[in-house]
Structure 1
Amino acid sequence: MKHPSRPLSPFLGRILLVLSGLIVSAACVHAETLNLVYPRPVSAFDHRSEYPLKLLELALAKSGTAFTLRASTAVMNKARVADELALGREINVAWMVTSREREARLLPVRICVFKGLGGWRIALVRQKDLPLFAKVRTLKDLQKLAAGQQLDWPDTAILRASAIPVETSSSYDSLFAMLTNGRFSWFPRSIPEIWAEAQSHKGQGLVVEPHLLVRYPSAYYFFVNRRDERIAWLIESGLERSIKDGSFDKLFLEYHGDVLARAKIRDRVIIDLPNPFLPPQTPLARKELWFHSEHARTR
């Protein structure tokens, strides 16, 4: 027998309305999965992306958003990375040293990925040139020795602003060959980078110089397109949570604790350089964002 249809009770109607809302919300969450594309490493020997990528994953996980991460199809230098981000094309997130120009074109997340260590530079040199660097005590001494840098790195302008001669290349990989061939005397590398690079190129007679540390204020940020404010906010909120709960520092030391000990900062002569290109918005006053070595000797 067919029963006549009856209207839903108000109570049951409210339950169905709530359930419908939950289903719609779940669908929206799924639909709003954040799909991020970052620059592919420039070579098989380039391990510089490992830690920033892990930190980005940590920040996004802490933000509570669903996300995917994948490398770009193309390999690109920093100039192209900035162009692709600014134009909203192949990538939508990257990590780079900041500068006034980059912050004018792109949207930075002003929490330094490397806690300022990008401006703590140790020299990769030819083993036979080690005696040259053992004599360096002052900036005047250093100005006699040409450095090598990539043309589009902000560090190139920082070094030149202190009258340090710089030879440049448009290719990261070619800089190691140029150093091996004596085109310049030293390749300034950050503490997080240099040990892996020295290991990768040990067959070329390149070694980590044990005597000197060149230091200048620098910040290495995650950048996005200026229209991608939501992406920037999610990364920033996740980083802030990771700073607060200690997971940022835990990851930082997991990747860099050994190399910091290996660098023996307190045994090095430290030459401090100014960075006239550092944006004024850099949060230098937030001490928790930066690495400190209170007992390091300075010159």
Structure 2
Amino acid sequence: MVGLLLTMAPAWCALNVVYPRIDERPPDDYGYKVLELALAKSGVPHALSMSKVKMNQERARLLLERGEISVLDAGVSADFEARYDPVYFPLDRGLSGYRLLLIHKERAPDFARIRTLGQLAEMTAGQGPGWADIKILSAAGIGVKTAEFASLFRMVNAKRIDFYPLGADEILPLLERYRAQAPDVVVEPHLALHYPFARLFFVRKGDQELRDAIHAGLRKAFADGSLQKLLDLDIRLRDNLRERTIIQLDNPNLSNAFRQIPREYFHLP
């Protein structure tokens, strides 16, 4: 397996960094692009590659523990913070805390009437196994059913769940990618969820050199504006969130370390 995943680095490289090729993410997902930018800004000699083998997120977590990949990015959770070494910088500047809803087109009138969390809690959401969002939604009183990523699109299409919340930055390309499996699914046009959240990079326990290189590079990219330019969050948030009713949820699972991330690193529309 190692031979399939890793690419040998030149002898001069201090860091040989392998990023997982995740099944459900598009090839141009910004996680890899942000990592590439951060390592370039860090000034640390490195070789960055993507794993040759595709995998789901659960497999990526296991391979990170084994050292067969070097880093992954995922939504912040207490479990991940205990299991790996986090890089405490929101690589998406918190945009993943804004969620739009995939629904069956025939359910649009039902969702158009929703204005409060209590009304939304009458609906059932779908999430992937082990996702940090499950605890957030459940704590807010929203019922959750879990299934594999692609299956959730089919479940919305079959009305087996009422809605499937996804990040405002990713929902449209993901819906188009799975359109054949979900021909009757649309993005609900009136609502958005928001809770304190972010995607973080996680490295294997004890890999302080890589963790520090990524952190330093992200801070430099933020300071010179190249991170903001890469993410282009202003346009995305304006297009996705204007005129929507935003339902605020608490996130009871945030660690003190996450709460201490400087507010300036988050985009606050």
Cα 1:69–1:32 shift into 2, 3 Å? closer
Q: Is the aligned partner of 1:271 residue 2:250?
A: no
Once the two structures are overlaid, the 10-residue window that deviates more, 282-291 or 59-68, is: 282-291
CA distance in structure 1 between the aligned counterparts of 2:168 and 2:260, rounded to whole angstroms: 20
Amino acid at match of 2:220: R
- Which residue identity does 1:175 align to in structure 2? L
| DSSP 3-state at the match of 2:91 | coil
Partner of 1:18: none
**Counterpart position of 1:53:** 32
Pick from 36, 39, 44: which aligns with 2:17?
36
TM-score (norm 2): 0.90
1:144 equivalent in structure 2: 122
Q: How far apart in 1 are the matches of 2:91 and 2:143? A: 28
1:117 aligns with 2:95: yes
CA deviation string 1:142-171 (max 9, x = no partner):
0111111001101011101111011101x2
Deviation at 1:66, TM superposition (A): 2.6
Deviation at 1:110, TM superposition (A): 0.5
1:237-294 Cα shifts (integer Å, max 9, x gaps): 11111111111111111xx44432321x24111111111111111145622210111x
Cα distance change on mapping 1:202 and 1:173 into 2, 3 Å: closer
Task: Please tell me whether residue 289 in structure 1 is matched to residue 268 in structure 2.
Answer: no
SS at 1:31 equivalent: coil
Q: 1:95 aligns with which of 65, 70, 73?
A: 73
- Give the residue type in structure 1 aligned to 2:231: F
2:203 maps to a residue whose letter is V
TM, length-normalised to structure 1: 0.81
Name the CA shift for 1:96/1:284 in 2 (closer, same or farther; >3 Å). Answer: same
C-alpha displacement of 1:198: 2.3
Letter in 1 for 2:16: N
Q: Distance in 1 between matches of 2:212 and 2:255?
A: 20
Question: Which residue of 184, 204, 211 corresponds with 2:161?
Answer: 184
State how far apart, in whole Å, the 1-side matches of 2:60 and 2:14 are.
Answer: 23
Tell me if structure 2 keeps the 8 A contact 1:110–1:283.
no
Kindly provide the amino acid, as one letter, of the partner of residue 33 in structure 2.
K
Deviations 1:28-77 (A, max 9, x none): x943342111111214xx32762111111111111112322222244333
Q: Which amino acid aligns with 1:102?
A: F
Alignment CA distance shift 1:48-1:183 (3 Å): farther
How far 1:126 sits from its partner (Å)?
A: 1.4
- Which residues in structure 2 correspond to 1:149-164 (within 5 Å)? 149-164=127-142
Contact 1:167 1:183 in 2 (8 A): no
Structure 2 distance, partners of 1:179, 1:48, is: 25
Structure 1 runs of 4+ with >6 Å offset: none
Match of 1:206 among 185, 193, 197: 185
**3-state SS of 1:218 partner:** coil
Unaligned ranges ≥5, structure 2 = 1-9
Distance apart, 1:199 and its partner CA: 2.3
Count, aligned residues: 258
